[in-house]
Amino acid sequence: MRSKDIVWTSAIVAAAIILTAVLSTASLRAAAGGGALEAAAKSSQQIARGKYLVDIMGCHDCHTPMKLGPNGPEWDMTRALSGHPEDAPMLPPANLPPGYMAAIGGTFTSFAGPWGTSYTRNLTPDKETGLGDWTVEEFIATMKTGRERGKGRPVLPPMPVQNLRALSDTDIRALFAYLQSLPPIKNRTPQPTEPAGQ
Ligand code: HEC
C-alpha cells in the first residue's frame, strides 16, 4: 500500500468508529428517555387509579370536612382529605338517648359512640400532621391489619377497616400514590377519647 492510501484508510476507519460511537450514544439516550417516559406514564396511571378508588370508596365522606352550603351539607374541597379540622369543636362523650348508636360532629369528621370519640385523620402528605412521613409499607399494613400505622392500636369506627382489608396490594399502592400527590395541608387531627363513663 502506498502511504497516501494508508492515510485514507485510517481516516475512513476513524470516521466509522466516531460515527458508531455517536449513533450508539444517541440510541442509549433514546432508550433512557423512553424508560423515563414509560415510568412517568405508569405513575400517572397509578395516581389516576388511586383518585378513582378514593372517589368511589367514599374516603371524602369522612376525611373531607363538610360545611353547610345552599343545598345542604357539602364537602369543603379547600380542605380535601385533611381530616377533622384542628379548630373544630371536640365532641363530648356520647350519652345518647335510647335507640341511638352514635352521634356525628358538625363537620362530619368526628364520631362519638360506644368506642369513644374518633376523629378522622389527615390523609394529605403534610410531613408533621398528615401521611408525609409514612412509607407505602406502613399504609399497606394499616389497610390489611386495621391497626394504627400497621402495628399500633386498632383503628376505630367508623373507619371501614373490614372493607379495606379486601383491597389488593396494587390498589392500596395506587391509593397511597394518589394521596401522596395531593397538596399537603397542615392540620393536626385530635387523638380519640374514651367512651362516656370511663
Ligand atoms: C365512615 C367514615 C370513614 C371512611 C369512609 C374512611 N375513613 Fe379513614 N378513618 C376514619 C376514622 C374515624 C379514622 C380515625 C380512627 C382512629 O383514630 O382510630 C380514620 C383513620 C384513617 C387512617 C389512619 C389510620 C392510622 O393508622 O392512624 C387512614 C390511613 C385512613 N383512615 C384512610 C382512609 C382511606 C384511604 C379511606 C377510603 C378508602 C378511608 N379512610 C375512608 C373514618 C373513615
pLDDT, tens only, 95-111: 899 999 999 999 999 99
**Can you list the positions of beta strands (E) in the chain?**
66-69, 72-75, 103-104, 110-113, 116-119
- The pLDDT mean for the chain works out to 90
Confidence at residue 196, expressed as pLDDT on a 0 to 100 scale: 80
Alpha-carbon distance of 43 to 37, in angstroms, equals 10
In the 8-state DSSP scheme, what is residue 106? T
Sheet holding 103-104, edge to edge: 103-104, 110-113, 116-119
* Among the ranges given (18-27, 126-135, 153-162, 163-172), the one the predictor scored with the smallest mean pLDDT: 18-27
Residue with cell 500500500: 1
Minimal CA–CA distance to 63: which of 131, 142, 138?
A: 131
Name the band, by pLDDT with cuts 50, 70 and 90, for residue 33: low
To test the pocket of ligand 1, the residue of 60, 159, 161, 175 to mutate (highest count of ligand atoms within 8 Å of its CB) is: 159
Q: 82 CA distance to ligand 1 centroid (A)?
A: 11
- Is the predicted pLDDT of residue 19 greater than 80, yes or no? no
66 close to 105: Cβ distance less than 8 angstroms? no
Cβ of 116: how many Cβ atoms within 10 Å?
18
Cβ 148 under 6 angstroms from ligand 1? yes
Task: Please indicate whether residue 87 or residue 35 has the higher confidence score (pLDDT).
Answer: 87
Name all contacts of 94-100 with Cβ < 8 Å and 24+ positions apart: 94/195, 94/196, 95/196
Alpha-carbon distance of 153 to 149, in angstroms, equals 9
Cβ 155 under 6 angstroms from ligand 1? yes
* Beta bridge pairs of residue 147: 154
Cβ 84 under 6 angstroms from ligand 1? no
Interhelix angle 169-181/3-56, rounded to 10 degrees, is 90
Name the band, by pLDDT with cuts 50, 70 and 90, for residue 47: very high
* Beta bridge pairs of residue 68: 73
Q: 112 CA distance to ligand 1 centroid (A)?
A: 15
Confidence at residue 197, expressed as pLDDT on a 0 to 100 scale: 73
Mean pLDDT of 171-180: 98
Residues in the chain, overall count: 198
Q: 69 CA distance to ligand 1 centroid (A)?
A: 24
